[in-house]
Structure 1
Amino acid sequence: MSAASFPGHCNVTSYPPSPLPALAPGGGGRIQWPHELRLKVNIHSHRRIISRHSPPCASSSSATTGVVKDSTPLEVAEIKERCRKWQWRGYTINYLAYEAEGREDETRNNPPLLLVHGFGASIAHWRRNIVALSQSQTIYAIDLLGFGASDKPIGFAYTMEEWAQLILDFLEEIIQRPTVLVGNSVGSLACVIAASDSRSSLVRGLVLLNCSGGMNNKAIVDDWRIKLLLPLLWFIDFLLKQKGVASFLFERVKKRESLRDILLSVYGNKDSVDEDLVEIIREPANDEGALDAFVSIVTGPPGPNPVQLMPRITLPVLVLWGDQDPFTPIDGPVGKYFSSLPSQIPNVSLFMLEGVGHCPHDDRPELVHEKLLPWLANLPTS
């Protein structure tokens, strides 16, 4: 289905990211894995530190539309250098606070953005978005517990609710201003859970990039494909809980060649799958506790369903969906639900992105910015 089939606020369908490594399309015994996540956060006396960066001369922005045409990536090494640490419930959380130099007056009059990555990713997965988005907003990004440079505690039981609580606590302790949440995959779902919390007054808006239906495929039991696979999924859960089996599988998955094949299968724009991207995923997978996080996430409870949560959200919502996503395909139940939302809930806008896979922000960032920046510019002032 092409983008032309989705005029204006478009119809789209989502399918929960595969919770388990699988054979990549085309056979050959190559391994493929999912995109999901979750977190939580605690109080630690910490001064907010904003990194300021002079935008490259090539960047251009429109004062009327807010569209930044240039998607110059921020170097991964610079992202690492600028990151700060925050203590949450005894765990160390890695985060970035980024503000474009010379644009402080403009950005401080607009709500900040909090970028929340998907399964296996980290702050650096937003490398192609940070500079462009920082022309109009202060940018924050976090590594969810279990990912990136954040702690990966041995034996921790990861849940979607924990990740959502991390987001809420981060808003309260670090950002301290009403914020637009921007998430990909299970990061989107964590943002949905956080935004649906009636106790929070710090969520200003919600941007969902190929939102997942749960922490793993057990979330969707009304899809005939999942019903057929449920016995296999439970058997794989059992196998993954055997440490030797899990370790063998994880070691295969995190090899550069395997990761490259996985990424090529979920990106529409193959040119975006570069060595930096492979290393963004691979490096944290070598940390102590990464295997435990992997097993806990793919074998744990799926968590709250967005179908139950979205009706509670009255904030402005922008949904962007890549039409070539094998993890959340446009003919799946979650996607069908999201495609129906603009006609049911007036605060939801939905657009299909043609030729884009599971991670639109990194796959074709210019298409994401084309929709996201005008939407941000038109947010109600209160």
Structure 2
Amino acid sequence: MEIWAQLILDFLDEVIKRPTVLIGNSVGSLACVIAASESTRGLVQGLVLLNCAGGMNNKAIVDDWRIKLLLPLLWLFDLLLKQRWIASALFDRVKRRENLNNILLSVYGNKKSVDDDLIEIIQRPANDEGALDAFVSVVTGPPGSNPVSLMPKIAIPVLVLWGDQDPFTPLDGPVGKYFSSLPSQLSNISLYVLEGVGHCPHDDRPELVHEKLLPWLSSLPRP
């Protein structure tokens, strides 16, 4: 996660070269949070977080009773994935078109957003060289920084948008509850819950995201 955050900062420094609003979804949101917390040159003007993840994988969320129940299985899963033939067989199964379709249908509130183009976008990189290693690394690797320790360090404007039908980072989970509590604690943070929306609001119901995002962007001071 920290490497991704540094890549963001390097891109802002070397390519954009002016204060920029970072927008991320899930672990992309977390990468933006890390980047903003580490930025010392005023490169990040604001943050838009869409269903921010609590870490690279579920092992970061140890204070959720659901994760606590699953931890022994997660540890066993990590152990099994260290066997390459098991990891390869599982990955081949996961990236099948019908399985990706079912996974995406469980993630999206608006089922019409799950179409052939979306499945192709997800499936194509899974066939690249090194995709299996990346899959294993994400699932079994360290979860990275926790947003709970980083958000209080961020003073720039932050817009948080959260789909209320997210199965990965639900509103009633520890990460969702934490972000829901922030507007009452930190004046720079605004939060809106998007009804009928899953884990990927920008693709699930883009019109609802734009409804909140565009006025917020317009309210930011000019850099």
Deviation per CA, 1:356-375: give whole Å up to 9, x if none: 00000000000000000000
- Match runs of 1:1-382 below 5 Å: 160-382=1-223
Give, in angstroms, the shift of residue 198 of structure 1. 4.2
Deviation per CA, 1:91-136: give whole Å up to 9, x if none: xxxxxxxxxxxxxxxxxxxxxxxxxxxxxxxxxxxxxxxxxxxxxx
Q: Tell me how far apart the structure 1 counterparts of residues 4 and 28 of structure 2 sit (CA, whole Å).
A: 8
Amino acid at match of 2:214: L
Give, in angstroms, the shift of residue 225 of structure 1. 1.5
Give, in angstroms, the shift of residue 223 of structure 1. 1.5
Q: Tell me how far apart the structure 2 counterparts of residues 311 and 192 of structure 1 sit (CA, whole Å).
A: 11
Amino acid at match of 1:211: C
Q: Tell me how far apart the structure 2 counterparts of residues 243 and 310 of structure 1 sit (CA, whole Å).
A: 37
Kept in 2: contact 1:168–1:200 (CA 8 A): no
Q: Tell me how far apart the structure 1 counterparts of residues 104 and 116 of structure 2 sit (CA, whole Å).
A: 11
Kept in 2: contact 1:172–1:202 (CA 8 A): yes
Kept in 1: contact 2:9–2:39 (CA 8 A): no
Deviation per CA, 1:210-231: give whole Å up to 9, x if none: 0000000010111222112111
TM-score, normalized by length of structure 2? 0.98
Give, in angstroms, the shift of residue 311 of structure 1. 0.2
Amino acid at match of 2:17: Q
Structure (1 or 2) with the larger CA radius of gyration: 1
What SS is found at the alignment partner of 1:204? strand
Give, in angstroms, the shift of residue 377 of structure 1. 0.4
Q: Tell me how far apart the structure 2 counterparts of residues 368 and 172 of structure 1 sit (CA, whole Å).
A: 28
Give, in angstroms, the shift of residue 177 of structure 1. 1.2
Q: CA RMSD in A?
A: 0.8
Give, in angstroms, the shift of residue 381 of structure 1. 2.4
Instruction: Report the identity percentage.
Output: 80
Amino acid at match of 2:51: N
Aligned length: 223
TM-score, normalized by length of structure 1? 0.58
Kept in 2: contact 1:164–1:194 (CA 8 A): yes
Q: Tell me how far apart the structure 2 counterparts of residues 245 and 200 of structure 1 sit (CA, whole Å).
A: 46
What SS is found at the alignment partner of 1:208? strand
Structure 2: give runs of 5+ residues left out of the alignment: none
Larger deviation, residues 189-198 vs 221-230: 221-230
Amino acid at match of 1:319: V
Amino acid at match of 2:23: V
Q: Tell me how far apart the structure 2 counterparts of residues 245 and 163 of structure 1 sit (CA, whole Å).
A: 28
What SS is found at the alignment partner of 1:331? coil
Deviation per CA, 1:23-50: give whole Å up to 9, x if none: xxxxxxxxxxxxxxxxxxxxxxxxxxxx
What SS is found at the alignment partner of 2:222? coil
Q: Tell me how far apart the structure 2 counterparts of residues 348 and 216 of structure 1 sit (CA, whole Å).
A: 25
Q: Tell me how far apart the structure 2 counterparts of residues 198 and 180 of structure 1 sit (CA, whole Å).
A: 13
Q: Tell me how far apart the structure 2 counterparts of residues 267 and 217 of structure 1 sit (CA, whole Å).
A: 19
Structure 1: give runs of 5+ residues left out of the alignment: 1-159
Kept in 2: contact 1:171–1:177 (CA 8 A): yes
Amino acid at match of 2:80: L
What SS is found at the alignment partner of 1:369? helix
Amino acid at match of 1:375: W
Amino acid at match of 2:149: Q
Amino acid at match of 1:294: F
Q: Tell me how far apart the structure 1 counterparts of residues 74 and 214 of structure 2 sit (CA, whole Å).
A: 40
